[in-house]
Amino acid sequence: MTYRILIPKKVHESGIQLLEAAGCEIVRPPDTRASTLREYAADADAILARTEPITDEVIEQAARLKVIARHGAGYDNISLEKASEMGITVTNVPLGNTNAVAELVVTLIMAASRNLVGVNREFAKGNYEIRDAAIGSEVEGKTLGIVGYGHIGRLVSKKCRKGLCMKIRVYDPFLDEATLENGVEAVENLEAFLAECDYVSLHVPLMEATRNMIGTDQFRQMKENCVLINASRGGVVDEKALLEALDDGEIGMAALDVFEEEPPSSDHPLIAHDRVIATPHLGAQTTEAMENLSVAAAEEILRVLSGEAPLNRVN
Ligand SMILES: NC(=O)C1=CN([C@@H]2O[C@H](COP(=O)(O)OP(=O)(O)OC[C@H]3O[C@@H](n4cnc5c(N)ncnc54)[C@H](O)[C@@H]3O)[C@@H](O)[C@H]2O)C=CC1
Ligand SMILES: CC(=O)C(=O)O
């Protein structure tokens, strides 16, 4: 039997080759609208999903569907409830892009500390004298607060503590104390945690408890020059409150890799804001991570289709 694998978005060729070598047929829809995915999912055995929403509507008529393999760590774009109800296995790849995201976060921290993007914009317009106004700050000895001390949070902590000599504070109500590295302190109270940090980096999954967890009250608790970094999910931050906090001088800068709606509208006020560094969900966009994710997701599909247990089932 030839299995049909629906792959709505571009993935690294190595995962495709693995599936084709196993005799699977790759099916590529023309777009990722729910109605299109629904039509194509109807006779698919597996979906290899990136960040496109795999909603109830997409899978409810998919009678042959056995597995949805997420090409990445987060799976908030997949209706786990509907998948479970229909006996469909959902998998993720917990470690495939951990380093890629952690390196992006380090890049954003460093870029924010020197306002590199804003200075570059000015210099490109011919404003060499911007250097007189471009007095940055050094990160050594500054406090980085990590919200969510999981795979990515822990690696960001390690790189920033050992490489950049930053002080690290952690806020994670589900923290396993045994995973805390030497020199890293956990703070139980979010308000006290935010008040202490020069940089706050978010690494929590998007779910009901974390939706808009950083909003007006939290911005008021931050230092006025605090830099917020969000490479988790856009919905974790109340974007309207963030815009107000930047405009009212309640925080210093924001570095955002993710947005509540993706892609965001071209006139999204945070993207062109002069105290925001914005990237288009670039966390996993390295050659290494793309290959890891494509292969690992393809392997999970082949495991499930051949009756084996997957390595990382999330439902
Ligand atoms: N920008 C990008 O391209 C990427 C973004 N991500 C996002 O990053 C998220 C985190 O990834 P991982 O570190 O691999 O996940 P993980 O599951 O290893 O860690 C998540 C951590 O968040 C903690 N947590 C849960 N609820 C919390 C709360 N209310 N307050 C504070 N902490 C809480 C958990 O205890 C856990 O330690 C993913 O769920 C995904 O949404 C992941 C990969 C790439
Ligand atoms: C790429 C991404 O956002 C994830 O792995 O969750």
pLDDT in tens, 30-47: 999 999 999 999 999 999
Residue labelled with tokens 């800068």: 253
Domains of the chain, by residue range, sit at: 4-96+287-306, 97-278
51 in ligand 1 pocket by Cβ < 6 Å? Answer: no
Q: Is the pLDDT of residue 157 over 90?
A: yes
The rounded Cα 301 to chain-centroid distance in angstroms is: 22
71 in ligand 1 pocket by Cβ < 6 Å? Answer: no
Q: Is 70 a catalytic residue?
A: no
Average pLDDT over the chain reads 97
- Mutational test site, ligand 2, from 93, 101, 207, max ligand atoms within 8 Å of CB: 101
ipTM comes to 0.99
pLDDT in tens, 242-297: 999 999 999 999 999 999 999 999 999 999 999 999 999 999 999 999 999 999 99
Q: Where are the alpha helices (DSSP H) in the chain?
A: 13-21, 34-41, 56-59, 80-85, 98-113, 116-124, 130-133, 151-158, 190-196, 216-221, 239-247, 287-305
Can you tell me the distance from the alpha carbon of 10 to that of 97, in angstroms, rounded to the nearest whole number? 16
Q: Tell me, what's the pLDDT at 95? A: 97
Domain 4-96+287-306 has CATH 3.40.430.10: no
Q: Is 71 a catalytic residue?
A: no
Q: Is the pLDDT of residue 103 over 90?
A: yes
Q: Is 262 a catalytic residue?
A: yes
Measure 86 CA to ligand 1 centroid, in angstroms: 26
Domain 97-278 in the same topology as domain 4-96+287-306:
yes
Active-site residue, from 233, 273, 275, 303 = 233
Q: Is 223 exposed, middle or buried (0-12, 13-18, 19+ CB in 10 A)?
A: middle
If you average pLDDT over residues 207-224, what whole number do you get?
98
pLDDT in tens, 162-180: 999 999 999 999 999 899 9
pLDDT > 70: percent of the chain: 100
Measure 247 CA to ligand 1 centroid, in angstroms: 28
According to CATH, the topology of domain 97-278 is: Rossmann fold (3.40.50)
pLDDT band, residue 97 (cuts 50/70/90): very high
pTM of the model: 0.98
Q: Tell me, what's the pLDDT at 1? A: 82
